[in-house]
Structure 1
Amino acid sequence: MTSDLSLRGRSGPRWYRISVGPSVRLRVQARVLWVTLALVLLALAACVASLTVGRLGIPLANLPSTLSGQGASIDAFVLDRLRGPRLVVALAAGAAFGLSGALFQSVTRNPLGSPDIIGIAPGAGAGAALVALLFPSVPVAFGALGGAVLAMGIVYVSTGTGFKSPSRLVIAGIAVTAMATAFIQYIVYAIERDQATVLSSYLNGSLTARAWSDAATAGVVLLVCVPFAWALSRPLTASEMGQDTAASLGADPRRTYTWSIVVSIALSAGAVTAAGPIAFIALTAPQIAKRVTRGTGPHLASSALTGALLLVLADMAAQNSPVFEKLPVGVWTMALGGLYLGRLLFAEWRRGIL
């Protein structure tokens, strides 16, 4: 790995050239690289803490043997049935939410832009509610996936231009969100109390009783979508310079925007299917990543890592809080995200954007 100075001069940021084999060469800003490595280390530390902290945690000394399959039976049970699937779902879903939000905010050029705004999460919740009412024996995750896809289709048709206009997309998403929320409230009111309790936990975003199948769902979505997101990174960076500049560099802004929104929706729908409509991770993770890296472009890798770290930490709080122990993790993210959103709105108002 070699380094060079950027073209912005001696006072500008430092860059690294990273070669992976003969054909893959990356040029990464030094601060972005070190922040990304720090986020990886923090995420690993959070994973260890998630598995070891708390009443049912695996003792730290036993963790290596348990991970290698040679631990005590009770530690193996905690890893295989309780903490392991929950942790993997938190990592994968958090990364998917963060990456989804980074793509959407890059397209809209708006820090308030989020897949939550365009009705994906409420649509998934409405689908889950409908399945709980009509097909109680069917897992609500199937309904969530169908609801997310249907919401995406309604938004696509109602804009009149597909995914090409970010402003129309947001307006249509707000309408879909309102309709889906009203439908969810009706279903919760109509079904029996026990079903309503289970459904309410899912709709708030819960990682309780996650299985390896949920982890596989979120993992497959990431594996499929990450290569597309990676391919869109450079065109998105060019598009942030303006459509004329992007076109001169060989990028097609409209096609880039369309595919970015499609990938963003797929990531969000997959995360909601695995973990429920957990709010504000897609909104806050890209903004935090942007502020700590101070780099240019959509900040895809750092946003995904920040989303994973935030969701793992929020789930640790949900598991170990002595006062609010039984609250779903989505309630924690809503509380923290609401505070962050208020701060962001105030900052945008002071800048005269709102």
Structure 2
Amino acid sequence: MNTVLDQATRSGAWADMRAATARPRRRRLLVLSGLALALVAAFAVRVLLGDYTFTVPDFFRILFGEQMPVSTFILMESKLPRAVLAVLVGVALGSAGSLFQMLLRNPLASPDIVGVSLGASAAGIFAILTLDLRDGAVSAFAVLGAVVIAALVRWVAGTTGGYRLVLVGVGVAAAMVSVIQYLLARSNTYDVQLALRWLVGSVNNVPWQTIGLLALVLAVLLPLLAVLSRALPALEMGDDAAAGLGVGRHRTDVLLLVGVLLTAVAVAAAGPVAFVAFMAGPIARAFMGGRHSLLAGALVGAILMLLADYTAAYLIPGVVLPVGIVTGAVGGPFLLWLLARGAATGRTG
């Protein structure tokens, strides 16, 4: 009789455990499905609506090669490239920001805050204003600048934790701002205007070749991130716990390098679009019930970019704002809210 009761108890315990693990999985699937649908809707709004609207049949006819006067040019040379670039940049920044926050266990540890984006910006501005470079050469300098600054921040911060890295990153970011201001102050007006258009962050007037190159790089980096991210649950518990589970500290550095490269190629294509990487992680985590998710962060980043670009294009009639102005205007208060919320709840990470 006792044996039968024990077996029933164990069966009930296993059923409860399976139910407990199934609930987060269902929530994750529902949230990711909802974010994917929201991304499709935001993409459709950005491409089909606005000052020049398209019907869905006309969109697909033009997409598959039919020529329509004016409509083909507006769709293929203005609306569609901006929307595609916004998605790619948003995915790169959203996944990079979520990765930084997961690895360093700090909601402030995004590429915007720790100096990676500003390192890429300073290198790009140096290439434009000092070396008189353009297009691909500027992008290469931006990638190099992001990697160098990330390595510097990591070296100075050491292995003592996420908060030291954030503090070092904030200091290095301030130094990069000074470098950018110096370069702008010593240059002529025309070059400064050119640099400022790149520095604010924009998805306007980016050629299809650049978009294709970004897509190709992301096709390499994102699957690599998906493979390496299998170690994230162990790394989130800390270096000592991860080492006990057989995950070496070098895995953190490799993942951070992938995050830096994702940020760098996004900045190289569209300039340093402010706060998208920073906002995507906390918003995705809120949708996921407090759980981290790189995929949710990537989807949220893409949605934020599309909505911000649509707002930038049509907020002021007759004026097309760079998308970085909108994300900066929203991201600044979001940062203050996150800091105030952390202080109010007593959380430090």
The alignment-based identity, stated in percent, is: 34
Between 231-240 and 334-343, report the one with greater CA deviation: 231-240
Structure 2 unmatched ranges of 5 or more: 1-12
Aligned residue for 2:266?
271
Aligned residues of 1:214 and 1:275 also touching (Cα < 8 A)? no
- Please give the secondary structure, in 2, of the residue aligned with 1:294: coil
What letter corresponds to residue 320 of structure 2 in structure 1? K
Against the structure 1 CA distance between its residues 281 and 41, is the aligned structure 2 distance closer, same or farther, given a 3 Å change threshold? same
Which residues of 2 match residues 46-65 of structure 1 at below 5 A?
A: 46-65=42-61
Within the alignment, does 1:9 sit opposite 2:3 as a pair?
A: no
- Please give the secondary structure, in 2, of the residue aligned with 1:12: helix
Q: TM-score when scaled to structure 1?
A: 0.86
Aligned residues of 1:164 and 1:258 also touching (Cα < 8 A)? no
Deviations 1:287-337 (A, max 9, x none): 1111101264x3011110110010011001111112583321111001111
Aligned residues of 1:87 and 1:312 also touching (Cα < 8 A)? yes
Aligned residue for 2:275?
280
- Please give the secondary structure, in 2, of the residue aligned with 1:77: helix
Against the structure 1 CA distance between its residues 221 and 259, is the aligned structure 2 distance closer, same or farther, given a 3 Å change threshold? same
Deviations 1:58-116 (A, max 9, x none): 34441121122224142222232112221111101100001001111011111111111
Give the distance between the partners of 1:292 and 1:87, measured in 2 at CA.
Answer: 24
Deviation at 1:155?
2.5
Alignment match of 2:300 (pick from 303, 306, 321): 306
Give the distance between the partners of 1:212 and 1:6, measured in 2 at CA.
Answer: 54
Against the structure 1 CA distance between its residues 164 and 223, is the aligned structure 2 distance closer, same or farther, given a 3 Å change threshold? farther
Aligned residues of 1:124 and 1:269 also touching (Cα < 8 A)? yes
Q: TM-score when scaled to structure 2?
A: 0.87
Which residues of 2 match residues 218-257 of structure 1 at below 5 A?
A: 218-243=214-239, 245-252=241-248, 254-257=249-252
Aligned residue for 2:344?
350
Deviation at 1:223?
1.4
Against the structure 1 CA distance between its residues 170 and 241, is the aligned structure 2 distance closer, same or farther, given a 3 Å change threshold? closer
Aligned residues of 1:89 and 1:214 also touching (Cα < 8 A)? no
Aligned residue for 2:326?
332
Aligned residue for 1:18?
none
Give the distance between the partners of 2:286 and 2:166, measured in 1 at CA.
Answer: 24
Against the structure 1 CA distance between its residues 149 and 73, is the aligned structure 2 distance closer, same or farther, given a 3 Å change threshold? farther
What letter corresponds to residue 39 of structure 2 in structure 1? A
Aligned residues of 2:106 and 2:163 also touching (Cα < 8 A)? no
Deviation at 1:8?
6.2
Give the distance between the partners of 1:190 and 1:100, measured in 2 at CA.
Answer: 33
What letter corresponds to residue 203 of structure 2 in structure 1? L
Alignment match of 2:156 (pick from 155, 158, 169): 158
Between 230-239 and 204-213, report the one with greater CA deviation: 230-239
Give the distance between the partners of 1:73 and 1:145, measured in 2 at CA.
Answer: 39
Give the distance between the partners of 2:71 and 2:265, measured in 1 at CA.
Answer: 30
Alignment match of 2:254 (pick from 259, 265, 272): 259
Pair member with larger Rg: 2
Against the structure 1 CA distance between its residues 352 and 226, is the aligned structure 2 distance closer, same or farther, given a 3 Å change threshold? same
**Structure with more contact order per residue of length (Cα contacts < 8 Å, sep ≥ 6):** 2
- How many pairs align? 334
* Higher percent of residues as helix: 2
Against the structure 1 CA distance between its residues 324 and 303, is the aligned structure 2 distance closer, same or farther, given a 3 Å change threshold? farther
Alignment match of 1:149 (pick from 147, 150, 157): 147
Within the alignment, does 1:292 sit opposite 2:300 as a pair?
A: no
Alignment match of 1:317 (pick from 307, 311, 318): 311
